[in-house]
């Protein structure tokens, strides 16, 4: 498992799905499909996405910290 950081390449909007996919070893497309399907269910999916966008550091800032 890798550290959670939004990648600079391969992201569509905020990079949250790409970061989660990298963390759990799946493709980013699979995570995006899971997110879109979950939006059909009741719940705060968009708020969670925005919160993760804010909380996950950018890969660029993680590299600079090392």
Query: Does the residue 65 lie in any domain?
Result: no
User: Under a CB-based contact definition with an 8 Å cutoff, are residues 16 and 49 in contact?
Assistant: yes
Domain count, the chain: 1
Task: Tell me the Ramachandran region of residue 58: left when phi exceeds 0, alpha when psi lies from -120 to 50, beta otherwise.
Answer: beta
Q: List residues bridging with 6 in a β-sheet.
A: 58
- 46 falls within a domain: yes
Burial-class residue 12 by CB neighbours within 10 Å (0-12, 13-18, 19+).
Answer: exposed
Domain hosting residue 40, numbered range? 1-58
Tens digit of each residue's pLDDT (9 = 90 or more) over 3-45: 788 888 878 888 999 999 989 999 999 999 999 999 999 999 9
- Position 64 in a domain: no
Better pLDDT: 64 or 6: 6
Q: What is the reported pTM?
A: 0.79
> In this predicted structure, what is the pLDDT of residue 63?
66
Whether the predicted pLDDT of 58 surpasses 70: yes
- Whole-angstrom Cα distance, residue 14 to residue 12? 6
Report if residue 18 sits inside a domain.
yes
């Amino acid at each position: 498992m890798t550290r959670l950081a939004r990648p600079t390449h391969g992201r569509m909007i905020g990079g949250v799905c790409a970061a989660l996919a990298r963390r759990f070893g799946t493709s980013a497309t699979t995570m995006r499909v899971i997110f879109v399907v979950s939006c059909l269910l009741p719940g705060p999916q968009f708020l969670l996405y925005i919160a993760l966008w804010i909380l996950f550091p950018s890969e660029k800032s993680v590299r600079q910290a090392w």
